[in-house]
Amino acid sequence: MTYQAAAAPAASGSAGTPDDRSQAFRAVEGGTEVQSGSVLLVEAYAAIWIILMAWLLVLWRKQRELHGRLDQVERTIDRAAASKEKK
């Protein structure tokens, strides 16, 4: 159902004052802009979940890369300590 502001009758060609305008909304029959509220709700939740999963995937990949780099640093430190002990 499309809603449109209800307009007060204009006085002989004048636009009228803001006080003359109605503040109520009434349904316009035959409108083409009809959206189901439940469909929009599901689409919003789906968008939020997709964004959340993409963000978690990016974090997971960064954490995996960081663990790899830390392992490499630990191996380098172990090698340096072992070579220092040999001397």
One pLDDT digit (tens) per residue for the chain, 87 residues: 555 555 545 444 455 566 666 777 777 777 677 778 899 999 999 999 999 999 999 999 999 999 999 999 999 999 999 998 887
- Look at the block and give the residue holding tokens 């009809």: 34
- CB neighbours (10 Å) of residue 76? 10
Q: Are 41 and 66 part of one and the same domain?
A: yes
Give the pLDDT score at 37.
Answer: 87
Nearby residues of 34 by Cβ (< 8 Å), 6 or more positions away = 1, 2
End-to-end C-alpha distance for the chain, whole angstroms: 85
Q: Are 49 and 71 part of one and the same domain?
A: yes
- Domain of residue 58, residue span: 36-87
Q: Are 16 and 47 part of one and the same domain?
A: no
Q: Are 21 and 47 part of one and the same domain?
A: no
Q: Are 44 and 84 part of one and the same domain?
A: yes
CA 77 distance to own-chain centroid: 44
Count CA within 13 A, CB hemisphere, residue 85. 6
Give the pLDDT score at 5.
Answer: 53
CA 82 distance to own-chain centroid: 52
Q: Are 44 and 67 part of one and the same domain?
A: yes
Model confidence, pTM: 0.51
3-state secondary structure of 66: helix
